[in-house]
Structure 1
Amino acid sequence: MNQKITLTSLITLLVLISMNGFSQTKINHFAVYAKDLKESSQFYESIVGLKTIEEPFKDGLHAWYDIGLGLSMHLIEREKPWKEPLIDKTNHLCFSVADLDAFIEKLAANNIPFEDAVDNKGKINIRPDGVKQIYIQDPNGYWIEINDEY
């Protein structure tokens, strides 16, 4: 018997698989705890270059950013007193830029220091695959990797 799979039957099969929990889990967003929402927002917009998207809470404690591919980053300032998070460079966000040299120039113009993966101030790390990367800290002390794997 010759069975022909039609586009409709393939779509139906994929819908049934996803309804039964067999679809791949995907990232939707990540959130960053901010001590001062205004200062953190300015950093992520002016320095990192993220674009704001609609913020549904409208409570003055959140800012949302488009990070590409339908994903978002949320800054959240809690109403409770600031709690110092445990910060280590191993736990970091990573953004890729098309021109790392231009990004470093922007850092210099804004007096923002950077370092390589092993804490050498003002140095660029080159991974074994040739990707260049630097690390900076946001106003809350969180580490951010910036690389040229754009």
Structure 2
Amino acid sequence: MPQKSNPTYFIILAFTLFSMNAFSQTKINHFAVYAKDLKESSQFYEEVVGLTPIDEPFKDGLHAWYAIGYGLSMHLIEREKPWKEPVIDKTNHLCFSVENLEEFIEKLARYNIPFEDAVDNKGKINIRPDGIRQIYIQDPNGYWIEINDEY
């Protein structure tokens, strides 16, 4: 190993640090949703959205975890403290893709859940410039969810 005062040492150190940074990437692991009522929110995400529950390590009745594809997960978390009303805006939303948007809209009708487009037109489907169709719904906590057909 070269001495620390040797220029070769700094070249090796710089290359090593660059290599570590160039080949490692920060990636998403999960996202969490604050739930007022875990049971109601779990029912919504399982029955309406169609997510599959996965094992969660807490086993405290305040957490529910769901597979969302590609090894990623969504965590529902109910706090023991009193509910704090979150600031909610459609711009901040989750997005799930479905294979058949029409079937999903039919499911929403069965659950009596309204949907709208990106600019608040009730019952309308938004079409993005790339042709992807999308709608927006709200979960039991008021969070906005985009559902699109970019499956």
Task: Establish whether TM, by shorter chain, passes 0.5.
Answer: yes
In the aligned structure 2, how far is the partner of 1:19 from the partner of 1:81?
47
- CA 1:127 to 1:79, structure 2 compared with 1: closer, same or farther past 3 Å? same
- CA 1:18 to 1:84, structure 2 compared with 1: closer, same or farther past 3 Å? farther
Paired position in structure 1 for 2:6: none
User: Which segments of structure 1 move beyond 2 Å, counting only runs of 4 or more?
Assistant: 16-22
Paired position in structure 2 for 1:124: 125
Paired position in structure 2 for 1:84: 85
Paired position in structure 2 for 1:7: none
In the aligned structure 1, how far is the partner of 2:63 from the partner of 2:84?
17
Paired position in structure 2 for 1:20: 20
- Report deviation, 1:20: 3.5
Alignment of 1:106 with 2:135, yes or no, is no
- CA 1:85 to 1:17, structure 2 compared with 1: closer, same or farther past 3 Å? same
Paired position in structure 2 for 1:13: none
SS in 2 for 1:20: helix
TM-score, normalised to structure 1's length? 0.87
The residue type paired with residue 90 of structure 2 is K
TM-score, normalised to structure 2's length? 0.86
Aligned-pair RMSD on alpha carbons?
1.5
Give per-residue Cα distances to partners, 1:74-127, cap 9 Å, x unaligned: 000000000000000000000000000000000001100000000000000000
Identity of aligned residues (%): 83
- Max Rg structure: 2
